Amino acid sequence: MTAKIISGKELSKQLRGELADEVRELKMVPSLAVILVGDDPASHSYVRGKEKACKAAGIDSIVKRHPSSLREDELMAEIDAFNEDSSVHGILVQLPLPEHISENAVIERIAVNKDVDGFHPVNVGRLMTGKKAFTPCTPLGIMKMLEISGVELRGKRAVVVGRSQLVGRPVGQLLLNEDATVTYCHSKTKDLASHTSQADILIAAAGRAGMIGETHVKEGAAVIDVGVNRVESTGKLTGDVQFEEVNEKAGWITPVPGGVGPMTITMLLHNTVEAARGTMFDDES
């Protein structure tokens, strides 16, 4: 028996259609401001993908592209202007930024209620305490894939390989919020397979091509491959999981490409619609 393939591409098509319907029912057009600094080709390609997806969903996107010489104070002034502008609902600064600009300072400058990437410390803290929060898009997409596939989380053992602020930590927190028992592994973890082979849910987010093989996986596990690695010889993208052999053992598996990647953009659209609704923090006392 091979694993059930969770196609982020298919799921995204369905969810983006639903989001477009939601947008049509809103009384205003949601608007996302994207700031891009520098000429990193991958960042430019991601931003083009975000613009295209916004358009298809009926969301306005305003993209500001700047040379890498942009000063930090100029970037801050642009963020301030978007924070003040009530017609802009979401703000995203594409990372990474050039070295002379502090990413932390930039993230903290974005208004908490427009922080559609979910990186602001207030949103991170709210997530940690189990409150409603803007949640980073990749982890949110992973949770949606697990939920729609009917993977049980309560009381199950989840192992997350990777502990970055972007993926590993928040996805572990979300799994914990759903009552999974969570273990984080990272580059200093000894005997990785002894941990991962216990996992009912295994999240591979290390960015190491093919590091998770059949021996790392428990029979019937849900294996989510977050890794995006470029194979130098072919230029093709590949995940952290050896798909062919793990597919024979896992219960569920996500492909690369066409897995977590498309879900990440879908969740950005979702967060932008949430920001436009403006009800995220209504439970605030």
Q: How far is the CB of 205 from ligand NDP (least distance, A)?
A: 4
Whether 132 is a known active-site residue: answer no
Set 9, 14, 21, 50: catalytic member: 50
163 labeled part of a ligand binding site? yes
N residues, the chain: 285
Q: Are strands 60-66 and 229-230 parallel, antiparallel or unpaired?
A: unpaired
Q: How far is the CB of 27 from ligand NDP (least distance, A)?
A: 31
260 binds ligand NDP (CB under 6 A): yes
Q: Closest CB to ligand NDP among 110 and 263?
A: 263
Out of 33, 133, 174, 228, the only residue in the binding site for ligand NDP (CB under 6 A) is 228
Q: What binding mask, one character per residue, do residues 147-186 give for ligand NDP by CB under 6 A, x or -? A: --------------xxxx-xxx----------------xx
Q: Closest CB to ligand NDP among 113 and 255?
A: 255
Distance CA 264, CA 241 (A): 18
159 labeled part of a ligand binding site? no
Whether 117 is a known active-site residue: answer yes
Distance CA 87, CA 257 (A): 35
Out of 188, 191, 234, 235, the only residue in the binding site for ligand NDP (CB under 6 A) is 188
Distance CA 110, CA 271 (A): 15
- HSE value, Cβ hemisphere, 13 Å, CA-based, for 160: 23
Q: How far is the CB of 118 from ligand NDP (least distance, A)?
A: 13
Out of 19, 34, 226, 269, the only residue in the binding site for ligand NDP (CB under 6 A) is 226
61 binds ligand NDP (CB under 6 A): no
Strands (E) across 149-225 are located at 157-161, 181-185, 201-204, 222-225
Contacts of 190-195 with C-beta under 8 Å, sequence gap 24+, read 192/161, 192/216, 195/159
Burial (CB < 10 A; 0-12, 13-18, 19+), residue 179, is: exposed
151 labeled part of a ligand binding site? no
138 binds ligand NDP (CB under 6 A): yes
Tokens of 278: 């403006």
With CB under 6 A as the rule, give the number of residues binding ligand NDP.
26
Q: Report the side by side order of strands in the sheet with 252-253.
A: 4-5, 252-253, 222-225, 201-204, 157-161, 181-185
Set 115, 117, 200, 225: catalytic member: 117
CB 168 within 8 A of CB 205: yes
Positions touching ligand NDP (CB under 6 A) are 138, 161-164, 166-168, 185-189, 192, 205-208, 211, 226-229, 260-261, 264
Instruction: Summarize the annotated binding site for NADP(+) as residue ranges.
Output: 162-164, 228
List, by residue number, the catalytic residues.
50, 94, 117
